[in-house]
Amino acid sequence: MATLVLLLLFYLFHLQLDVLALPASSDYTKELYDYIVIGGGTAGCSLAATLSEKYSVLVLERGNVPAAYPQVLSANGTLSNLIQEDNGKTPAQRFRSEDGVANARGRILGGSSMINIGIYSRAEDEFYRESGIPWDKDLVLKAYKWVEETIVFQYNLSAWQSIAKQALLEAGVVPDNGFNLNHIVGTKATGSTFDDKGRRHGAVELLNRGELKNLQVAVEATVERIIISNKFPSKDSSLTAIGVKYSDSKGRTHHAFVRNKGEVILSAGTIGSPQLLLLSGVGPVPDLSSLQIPVVHHNPYVGKFMADNPRNNINIVVPFALDPSLAQVVGITSEFNYIETLSYTLPFSFPIPFGLFPNAISPLNASLATIAVKIQGPLSSGSLRLASSSEVRVSPIVRFNYFDNPIDLARCVKGVGKVGDVLKTKALEPFKTRDLQGRESFMFLGPSLPNNQSDESAMDKFCRASVTTFWHYHGGCLVGKVVNGDLRVMGINGLRVVDGSIFNRSPGTNPQATIMMLGRYVGLKMLQERS
């Protein structure tokens, strides 16, 4: 059976959480749950913990426990997560979009919260207004605080982060907002899921907030299909999600079902959730028919409106040793740009991190300072389609259409221009390298900004040529298109989607705060519904 092993996570996460084993006997297929959560990731963990307060919950996670990959638990291991060879089980599953941009998604209990750079910052007001969800703002705040009191930290800024903060302020990204979890124009230090000792506290730790006797978590349990029946019609639909079919690490098949009034909840992430709907026969008829997948329910919007926030960055080769630091400081401009920085060292022959920056060769023991810009939104979008009609482990084919909308490109030009302003500040003067003639200038690893930053054509070209991912993709199961305001899949009873695939824009500077909040928020709303 799936490494569905009884595991005590206390010694790893300072928790008292058992990841419980699921029996492999034939009797197992008769076992029922109130809720089945597909995906123990950034949203799935907080959702499952909340629902378990009153009901039985099964979490099915395709990845392994963090114990199997200790590097995910340390800030120093963050880059290792991105460069590790993908063997089908590693915590970061690599994929490359049709745009040619390398990307990655979480494949581990805790999801992408276990492989990201840890920034925690709440969403902007516009996100809520444009989301299509009738938010209860008081409950939103309570859900954020529930997450924050468990896994969010404030710690002293590193040397580079302090310098970067000063440079942003000098460059006009004002005011100085100090430490703040809210989304405010200006420069701020924000929360982190790393503590002051560099230990990661991802979404997996939120499971410990649940009622453990009601919570069962299976790892290396890959859901292959949602079981949808027409035997339980209602006034809303003739179709009902009643369970799931999944396989364990040895390829053996299992089934799990929900009780009356129970629900199946997709929290498989922006790539996984639309993929599983399509594999289950829910999606556009032409797409399903072309792969000979029986159509269960036609919805032309499954897998559509896929978006990814483009990242454009410059990497300064620092002429002295610089301690590594993950992003702690964020610059939020009034022109729809977010600027973040980090520092790290690449030793000789160190492979360039997958998707970290394009077209670069690592010099000998280089200390690097990276300044990255992200645009709000974006407005450009693409689509997702299946690469296999039956194998969920095969990444679907995704296109994001970076900068397809000219407004996105204009925003990038503005953001890159602001990075140029940052480079002109006194705070960054010590980071210049002196050449043999005594002239001082920055040395870059990878792309450098155009010499004439007033040349819009050159700036456009830089944005397009240097684009890579911020790993903040979203869409594919949009509110109003695939799910309603309560996140129920339209046309199918007992099925919801709760993750970033429902969003029409990326929330805030970094989405993980809002995605973890979403799981808690929806869980509380569901408990209210049943009470």
The structure tokens 């397809």 sit at 404
| Delimiting residues of CATH 3.30.410.40 domain(s) in the chain | 154-192+310-376+403-466
Q: Under CATH, which number does the domain 154-192+310-376+403-466 receive?
A: 3.30.410.40
For 416-442, give the DSSP string: HHHHHHHHTSGGGGGG-EE-TTS-EE-
Burial 187-196 (b: 16+ CB within 10 A, else e): bbbbbbbbbe
pLDDT exceeds 50 at position 26: no
- Mean pLDDT is highest, among 154-163, 229-238, 358-367, for 154-163
Tens of pLDDT, residue by residue over 243-267, are: 999 999 889 999 999 999 999 999 9
CB 82 within 8 A of CB 115: yes
Residue 389 amino acid letter: S
Return d(Cα 206, Cα 464) in angstroms, integer: 39
Give the residue carrying structure tokens 């040395």.
443
pLDDT the model gives residue 23: 33
- Over residues 171-181, the pLDDT tens digits come to 999 999 999 99
Residue 346 has a pLDDT of 74
**What pLDDT was estimated at residue 355?**
54
The secondary element (H helix, E strand) that includes residue 169 is helix 159-170
Burial pattern 74-111, b for ≥16 Cβ within 10 A else e, equals ebebbbbbbebeeeebbbbbbbebebebbbbbbbbbbb
pLDDT tens per residue across span 108-124: 999 999 999 999 999 99
Q: Which of 29-33, 77-81, 374-378 has the lowest mean pLDDT?
A: 29-33
262-321 per-position pLDDT tens digit: 999 999 999 999 999 999 999 999 999 999 999 999 999 999 999 999 999 999 999 999
Architecture of domain 7-119+200-307+472-530: 3-Layer(bba) Sandwich (3.50)
Q: Strands (DSSP E) along 122-233, which ranges?
A: 176-179, 186-189, 191-192, 215-219, 222-229
List every span in the chain annotated with CATH 3.50.50.60: 7-119+200-307+472-530
Residue carrying structure tokens 């973040």: 340
Confidence of residue 2 (pLDDT cuts 50, 70, 90): very low
Of the listed ranges 234-238, 273-277, 390-394, 479-483, the least confidently predicted one is 234-238
Interstrand relation of 119-120 and 32-38 (parallel, antiparallel or unpaired): unpaired
- Separation between Cα atoms, residue 325 and residue 367, nearest integer Å: 11
